[in-house]
């Protein structure tokens, strides 16, 4: 069955879904994780980020990737971790081996004090069809699924953060990315282990008023957006309702609505994002809560005013906020 799927995908490749003669010259999307920089000259071709989910970290060789998980025969050992998950796919410069790229990542993590949990550098180390495991099979088409000969893998732990790096020199398979035979593809997965956030954090209008009276501002964490998006999520409604109550109770109060971000990405990109998010909050209050637009001023701060370090996920979470400042 797998051979049939492979042949079908190769047919798709012939009509433009697969490999291209072009080369990647810039990131398609996303950015490096703050913990781990990229191999020099690499480009991002795929990027996903989830604030909270589960991830199965591979800690042993593949036994039979097609086995039912209930049989316990798919892989030697796995560990399920819950937390913030970032998955980044890079293409290394043509001519750079998986060995060289892998060693650079290993050295970088070693310098940071990371513990090696499992590492494999040969087909014997990684077992049967390692790229066919669910973590990599059909990831970005077949970028990893049919290229096992020079594959390398490492799983690492640094405090509460887990890193899995899988590299291989591309041999065959259908993928929409312009990869050439022999080019090293790199999958970097970072899992920041943490308890699930209690999302329903609502500050009452009375507490907002008290903080504004004493310090001139209030930081709010009950207004939610998806990563790199500006549309307000439905769970923001309770906090928005309390802001409206605050303004209704004090007709003379005017507010600067400040959007704040962490330092992931460039300053200008975050300034634009934070400005549009602040404007979205103002627009929602005006259009759905009958607040006068003259009483609100949206302002994007980017990461110019952190309240915690940006070196940890906990700190970055504190920096992602909306602040109301008395005008």
Tally Cβ neighbours within 10 Å of residue 94: 13
Q: Which residues contact 22 (CB under 8 A, 6 or more apart)?
A: 178
Q: Which residues contact 219 (CB under 8 A, 6 or more apart)?
A: 307, 321, 322, 323
The CA distance from 83 to 191, in Å, is 6
The CA distance from 101 to 168, in Å, is 10
Q: Are strands 161-169 and 217-220 parallel, antiparallel or unpaired?
A: unpaired
Angle between helices 267-288 and 237-249 (to 10 degrees): 70
The CA distance from 273 to 277, in Å, is 6
Each residue's pLDDT, cut to its tens digit, for the chain (327 residues) gives 444 444 444 444 433 333 444 566 789 888 999 999 999 999 999 999 988 888 999 999 998 877 766 566 788 999 988 888 999 999 999 999 999 999 999 999 999 999 999 999 988 899 988 988 889 987 878 888 888 889 999 999 998 899 999 999 999 888 888 899 999 999 999 999 875 554 446 899 999 999 999 999 999 999 999 888 999 999 999 999 999 999 999 999 999 999 999 998 899 999 999 999 999 999 999 999 999 999 999 999 999 999 988 887 778 888 999 999 999
Contact criterion met (CB below 8 Å) for 288 and 312: no
HSE-up (13 A, CA, CB side) for residue 237: 3
HSE-up (13 A, CA, CB side) for residue 244: 18
DSSP string over 135-152: TTTTTTTTTTTT--TT-E
Which domains, and CATH codes, for the chain? 2-193 (no CATH), 205-326 (3.30.1330.60)
Residue 180 pLDDT: 92
Tokens matching residue 58: 């591979």
The CA distance from 275 to 282, in Å, is 11
Query: Which residues, in sequence order, are bridge partners of residue 228?
Result: none
CA distances from 56 to 123, 143, 275 (A): 21, 20, 37
CA distances from 74 to 3, 63, 102, 139 (A): 19, 5, 25, 18
The CA distance from 83 to 51, in Å, is 7
């Amino acid at each position: 069955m797998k051979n049939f799927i492979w042949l079908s995908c190769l047919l798709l490749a012939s009509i433009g879904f697969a490999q291209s003669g072009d080369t990647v010259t810039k990131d398609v999307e996303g950015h490096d994780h703050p913990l781990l920089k990229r191999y020099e000259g690499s480009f991002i071709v795929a990027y996903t980020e989830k604030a909270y989910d589960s991830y199965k970290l591979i800690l042993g060789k593949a036994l039979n990737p097609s086995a039912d998980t209930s049989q316990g025969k798919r892989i030697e050992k796995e560990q399920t971790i819950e937390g913030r998950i970032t998955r980044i796919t890079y293409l290394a410069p043509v001519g750079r081996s998986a060995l060289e790229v892998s060693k650079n990542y290993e050295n970088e993590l070693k310098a940071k004090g990371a513990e090696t949990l499992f590492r494999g550098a040969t087909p014997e180390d990684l077992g049967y069809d390692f790229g066919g495991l669910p973590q990599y099979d059909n990831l970005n088409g077949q970028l990893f699924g049919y290229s096992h000969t020079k594959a390398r893998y490492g799983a690492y732990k640094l405090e509460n953060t887990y890193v899995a790096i899988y590299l291989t020199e591309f041999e065959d398979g259908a993928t929409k990315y312009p990869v050439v035979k022999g080019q090293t593809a790199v999958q970097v997965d970072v899992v920041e282990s943490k308890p699930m956030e209690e999302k329903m954090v609502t500050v009452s209008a009375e507490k907002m008023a008290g903080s504004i009276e004493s310090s001139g501002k209030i930081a709010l964490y009950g207004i939610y957006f998806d990563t790199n998006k500006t549309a307000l999520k439905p769970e923001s409604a309770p906090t928005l309702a309390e802001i409206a109550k605050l303004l209704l109770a004090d007709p003379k109060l005017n507010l600067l609505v400040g959007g704040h971000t962490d330092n992931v990405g460039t300053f200008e990109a975050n300034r634009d994002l934070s400005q549009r998010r602040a404007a979205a909050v103002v627009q929602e209050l005006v259009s759905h809560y009958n607040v006068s637009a003259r009483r609100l001023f949206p302002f994007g701060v980017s990461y110019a005013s952190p309240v915690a370090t940006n070196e940890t996920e906990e700190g970055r979470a504190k920096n992602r906020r909306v602040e109301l400042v008395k005008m």
